[in-house]
Amino acid sequence: MHRAARGEGLRRWALTMARNRRRVYIVWLLVVCAGLLGLPHLLNSLASPAITVDGSESERAGKLLGAVVPTLGNEQMVVVLNSVTANPTGAELDSAVAAVVTELGARDIVSGAIPLPRAGDRTPALAMPELLEPVHALLRDEHTAYVLVGVSGDDRERQRQAPRIQAGLDRAVSERVGDAVRPYLVGVSVFGEAVQRAEISDLLRIDLVAIPLAALLLFLVLAAPAAAAIPLAVAGASVVGTLGFFSLLVHAVPLDGMLLVGVNAIGLGIGVDYALFVVTRYRDELAAGAKPEDAVATSMATTGRTALYSGVLLLLACGSLFLVRWNVFAQAAFGTIAVVVVTLVAALTLLPALLVSATPWLGWRPRWMPHPSANTDPVPGSRKLLPRWAAHLMRRPWPYVIGITVGMGVLAMPAMDLRPGTDMEERALAGTPFIVGRTISDRDVPGLSSIVYIVAQPADGAAELGVTPLLAALRADPGVAAVGHLSTGEGGTAILAVPGSTVNSPASIQLVQRIRETIVPATLPPGSTVLVGGASALTADVLTETSTKLWQVIGCVLGVMFLVLTWALRSLLLPLKALVMSLLATGAAFGLMALAFPRDMAAEDHSLGSSAIWPQVPLIVFAVLFGLTTDYELFLVRRIQEEYRRTADNGHSIVAGLCATARPISLAAAIIAVAFGSLLVSSIESVRAFGFAVAAGLIIDATVLRLALVPALMQLMGRWNWWFPLPTDHGKAQLVKE
């Protein structure tokens, strides 16, 4: 099929949308109104995704522990009761503990509440003494008491109930002892819910930064209010439409605040991005004398088609995140795919209608602004500067290829020190019951929030499982502070191992790995069922899953991108070059992220401190950044390709394509960088790291790489840019534009 015919479908589609623009406006008005009406419902129904890894050992251990020891439930939390008086009386703490146990016993989701006697109590009345007496022996702070809480239900229900349980505890303790003792609920689900609330509170602040800055950039560079308003309208309709779609699914699919933060940034960025390129092409066509309908048809058949390719590439890149079994990645992939699809629909329907309707006002400017021609840059002299720069690159490509490649390698070097870990978001959650309670318990017994639970059952046919060697090995391990155990019936045993380190310490994660890989195989007979769970085991499973799937995601993205780019560009070298450019930008972004978000070297073991990067951040940055940077490759190279098919002159085509796309690519990158850079105002460290890395990578890609390295490499490759083993029309001059 001739390439000109391939754009005929989009040409006819654009004309249909333009001629039926009133109907298009009505449909999108209904979509936007529905999205706005559903927004309060969406915000009130958000819940963090399950923190567990699907099918992981820690998840299976939690379910088995809840089955064999129902009192401990599917998740184990701790209520920390701290006396605020200088000389607390035992009666106050005991009364507060009794109030807590009564309050928890009235809640269906709580499967058990086991109070630990206060530190120094020599004759404790302790439930399950074999399991919990070793824990009681570790307590030192006489100002503090603890209640172990078993919670049933799924992840979403536990998170939903966490603030209600905390409110009930506050009320019960206050009624019993006033302000003398304060309760703090600590647990994995409590942490997830607290982060969720922080993310929602950040949403408005992020949008108040991103939207005005994006509008200001568009207005200043395009120098025409109508031309600047169209990309913003497309982006706004896309984001609101996506949120409306989410409001319909929120009860069937768990959605959280982080998803909305990402959707807003991506929707604003690519909505403006795709629309901006089409608006620029449309204005160029009008300036060349085309009628509005012909101009919109040509713009959508060429630049609009490239935007469609770009959206497909971003969809495929983010779809690779489904390979990771952690629900956080599935949610990120789902959210990105949803907003990209809605944005593409808006670009293919709303954008052509807006362009034709706004044609009389595209050149209007306020009186105080100069009135240059439609295709004149607002920066004086830039029209002459770009051709001179492009011609200079064509004469001397080698110094730029070598220098920029080396520079990108240097920028990427700090990424070698990136070590994913867990960040308890102490700064964002400062003052919350979770952080206050965890700080108190870590100061008293560091391992209380990171208890490792081991469920052991005999092999089929065996009467009983001898766990004495396992218990002895655990007690001898230097990373274990205390060990307790409880027979579960049918020859099984539940074991509790208290680490000597906190939940986000590498020592706790290494302990889990030693138990699984060394201690259990050496002390229990083959065929035994042994599952290791708890908060530290969950963290270990998350780190293992993300590290093992890293290369699968990278390989999937590279392979799919190469195939789509080969089909779109009808070339073998250009897709390879595009992948290398995106890898350079991504590597540099990771290096800058490592410098901007260093690990806290004062933290325990000099690793995984309070500034550790959550393991989902690098993978999601890779997928999103790879998809976005490939956009600019397509917009630049396809414009060069269009010139080459017309003139068959490689050097001239590179210069013409660079001059035609440099301004919109730079502006589009600046808009997306603003959208993601606005995430730096978030209180969540992982959100800030994500926004910084994507913004930095886009700026590097759109400036250093697209304005210098890509043209220089294409000049060096010459006619091999367009080599393809199958027949193409690259070498035919005077062909019809796409």
Of the listed ranges 177-181, 595-599, 727-731, the least confidently predicted one is 727-731
* pLDDT-based confidence at residue 598 (cuts at 50, 70, 90): confident
CB contact set of 419 (below 8 Å; sequence gap of 6+) = 599, 607, 608, 612, 613
Which residues, listed in sequence order, are joined to residue 462 by a DSSP beta bridge? none
So what's the pLDDT on residue 368?
A: 62
Give, in degrees to the nearest 5, the angle at Cα 703 between 698 and 704: 105
Over 50: is that where the pLDDT of 379 sits?
no
Spatial CA neighbour of 271 closest among 220, 307, 319: 307
Over 50: is that where the pLDDT of 501 sits?
yes
In the numeric block, the tokens 């520079």 are attached to 407
Tens-digit pLDDT profile for residues 18-43 = 999 999 999 999 999 999 999 999 98
Spatial CA neighbour of 615 closest among 536, 677, 541, 534: 541
Domains contained in the chain, CATH given: 1-44+223-375 (1.20.1640.10), 57-191 (3.30.70.1430), 377-417+547-738 (1.20.1640.10), 433-539 (3.30.70.920)
So what's the pLDDT on residue 122?
A: 62
So what's the pLDDT on residue 2?
A: 45
So what's the pLDDT on residue 459?
A: 78
How far apart CA 622 and CA 693 sit, in angstroms, is 9
Overall average pLDDT of the 205-211 stretch = 90
Over 50: is that where the pLDDT of 1 sits?
no
DSSP track, 416-481? GG--B-----TTTTTTSHHHHHHHHHHHH-GGGGG-EEEEEEPPTT-S----HHHHHHHHHSTTEE
Overall average pLDDT of the 430-453 stretch = 91
So what's the pLDDT on residue 86?
A: 60
Look up residue 284 and give its amino acid. Answer: D
* pLDDT-based confidence at residue 197 (cuts at 50, 70, 90): confident
Over 70: is that where the pLDDT of 606 sits?
no
Mean pLDDT of the chain: 87
Tens-digit pLDDT profile for residues 654-695 = 999 998 888 888 888 899 999 999 999 998 888 999 999 999
Over 70: is that where the pLDDT of 600 sits?
no
| pTM higher than the cut 0.75 | yes
Over 80: is that where the pLDDT of 107 sits?
yes
Q: Strands (DSSP E) along 55-202, which ranges?
A: 75-83, 110-116, 144-151, 181-186
Taking phi over 0 as left and psi of -120 to 50 as alpha, with beta for the rest, 665 belongs to alpha
Tens-digit pLDDT profile for residues 712-737 = 999 999 889 888 887 655 444 433 33
Residues of the chain above pLDDT 70, percent: 91
So what's the pLDDT on residue 466?
A: 82
So what's the pLDDT on residue 599?
A: 61
Work out the burial of residue 2: count CB atoms within 10 Å of its CB; fewer than 13 is exposed, 13-18 middle, 19 or more buried.
exposed
So what's the pLDDT on residue 603?
A: 42
Alpha helices (H) in 223-300, listed in sequence order:
225-249, 257-287, 292-299
Of the listed ranges 116-130, 496-510, 549-563, the least confidently predicted one is 116-130
So what's the pLDDT on residue 728?
A: 58
Over 50: is that where the pLDDT of 374 sits?
no
110-116 β-sheet, strand order:
110-116, 144-151, 75-83, 181-186
Tens-digit pLDDT profile for residues 41-58 = 998 888 776 778 888 999
Residues of the chain above pLDDT 90, percent: 51
Tens-digit pLDDT profile for residues 139-156 = 888 889 999 999 998 888
So what's the pLDDT on residue 125?
A: 64
So what's the pLDDT on residue 118?
A: 81
How far apart CA 409 and CA 179 sit, in angstroms, is 58
Overall average pLDDT of the 536-546 stretch = 90
Over 70: is that where the pLDDT of 6 sits?
no
From residue 682, give the alpha-carbon distance in Å to each of 207, 429, 678: 11, 12, 8
